[in-house]
Every structure is written in C-alpha cells, then in structure tokens.
Amino acid sequence: MALAPRVFLTAEQIQKRVREMGEQISANYPEGPLYLISVLKGAFIFMADLSRHITTPSRIEFMGISSYGRGKTSSGEVKVTKDLDVSIEGHHVLIVEDIVDSGVTLTYLMNLLEQRRPKSLAIATLLDKPEKRLRPVQVSYVGFQIPDEFVVGYGLDFAEDYRNLSDICVLTEDADAAGVGVGD
Ligand code: PRP
C-alpha cells in the first residue's frame, strides 16, 4: 500500500501560530541585530515565514546539520554539512528549527554555537515531539507540541519528498488518506 499524506495541521493553522511566535520573539528582542540561524533543509520555509513576522532587525544565516542515514528514523549521529559564514560573537542568536525530536541535533548545535560566545542563544521550533526526547533541550519558543507521528510538509521530508506541501501532514499507509495538493 502506498504512503499518502493526511493533513494534520493546515496552512492556516500554521500561519496563525507562526505570526504569534514572531510577535513574541519581537517583544523579547527589542534591539537588533538578532541572528536567526536556520538549520537546513527542513526549516527553510519556517525561517522564511517566521522572519517576516519578526520586527527586530535581523540577519538570516543558514547551517547544515544532518542526521546520518535516511528514512523515518535517525541513526542518532549528526554532522555539520554547512557551517556559518559569519561570527556570532557578542550577538543575540536564535536557532530556527522545524522540529525537535530526539534532541540530538540541537544538543550538538547548542554546544557548538555556545563555544562561539554569542550574547544569548535560544531555540525556536515549529514542532516539538517531547515523547521522543533522548537528550534534554531547553526550547524557548514552540509552535506546536505533537504526538509521535511521522510528519511531512512545510519543509519536512520523507526521503526528500513532500517538503513543498503547504500543510503539515502525517504520512500514513491508509489508502483512503485525503490527497493534498501542492501549494493549496
Ligand atoms: C531533522 C530536523 C532537525 C532534526 C531533529 O533534520 O530538521 O534538524 O531532524 O531531529 P532530532 O531532534 O532527533 O535530532 P534531518 O536530519 O531530517 O534533515 P533535514 O532538515 O534536511 O530534513
């Protein structure tokens, strides 16, 4: 039976929450520059939307931190595939993630960035799966806490597919799953 995406969070629900998160972050960082560091690839859409709701003068940076292996489960090992091009020393830094699952990626990234002596370092994630946590991570801004379902869309993939869905969907083997159109 083929995998099919079933809508879990609609584009409208996501946009409403992202706007709220942007307003909260703007209030908490009255002065810039705020360095928004996004973790590729999954967070690219969240970064684009969240950053436009942040009124604090911000700078946009990208890093690549990837789990080894592909498929529905992570092997627990991570590697840097793209480092920052700039120094963050003395600056406020907010890591923008699409999902915190085991916490392995963010534990690694927090340790790495802390060594570069930012003025402050915090995390914003659209999705949080607390049930899956293997490493404790302090996340300052959470869009949605979700159960242990495999989700795709709005930047999240399964084997590189589904990133361009506007909704966040659960990947299901249910043959009756609702079809989801790209860009709807
Ligand atoms: C995903 C996601 C996070 C990480 C979270 O990235 O974007 O970076 O996994 O999982 P963890 O809390 O268990 O470490 P992935 O490695 O799938 O790469 P991608 O963003 O390119 O899809």
Q: Is 126 in the pocket of ligand 1 (CB under 6 A)?
A: no
> Of these residues, 101, 128, 157, 184, which one is catalytic?
101
Atom of ligand 1 lying closest to residue 64 CA: 21
The pLDDT confidence band at residue 4, using thresholds 50, 70 and 90, is confident
The pLDDT confidence band at residue 103, using thresholds 50, 70 and 90, is very high
The pLDDT confidence band at residue 83, using thresholds 50, 70 and 90, is very high
Residue nearest to atom 2 of ligand 1 (CA): 99
Question: What are the tens digits of pLDDT across the range 132-172?
Answer: 899 999 999 999 999 999 999 999 999 999 999 999 999 98
Q: What is the mean pLDDT of residues 38-45?
A: 94
The pLDDT confidence band at residue 73, using thresholds 50, 70 and 90, is low
Q: What is the mean pLDDT of residues 127-132?
A: 94
- Do residues 79 and 39 touch, judged by C-beta distance below 8 A? no
Residue length, the chain?
184
Among the listed ranges 8-12, 24-28, 52-56, 71-75, which one has the minimum average pLDDT value? 71-75
pLDDT of residue 174: 65
pLDDT of residue 79: 84
Atom of ligand 1 lying closest to residue 157 CA: 22
Q: Is 128 in the pocket of ligand 1 (CB under 6 A)?
A: no
The pLDDT confidence band at residue 84, using thresholds 50, 70 and 90, is very high
Between CA 84 and CA 40 the distance in angstroms is 12
Among the listed ranges 10-14, 90-94, 130-134, which one has the minimum average pLDDT value? 130-134
Place of tokens 């996004």: 38
pLDDT of residue 76: 61
Q: How far is CA 162 from the centre of its chain?
A: 15
CA 15–ligand 1 middle distance (angstroms): 21
Best of 38, 39, 44, 97 to mutate for ligand 1, by most ligand atoms within 8 A of CB?
A: 39
pLDDT of residue 181: 46
Annotated catalytic, 101?
yes
CA 28–ligand 1 middle distance (angstroms): 26
CA 36–ligand 1 middle distance (angstroms): 17
User: Structure tokens of 20?
Assistant: 């709220």
Alpha helices in the chain (DSSP H): 11-28, 44-51, 104-114
CA 169–ligand 1 middle distance (angstroms): 16
Between CA 111 and CA 60 the distance in angstroms is 20
| Per-residue pLDDT at 70 exceeds 60 | no
Atom of ligand 1 lying closest to residue 133 CA: 12
Q: 67 or 133: which carries more pLDDT confidence?
A: 133
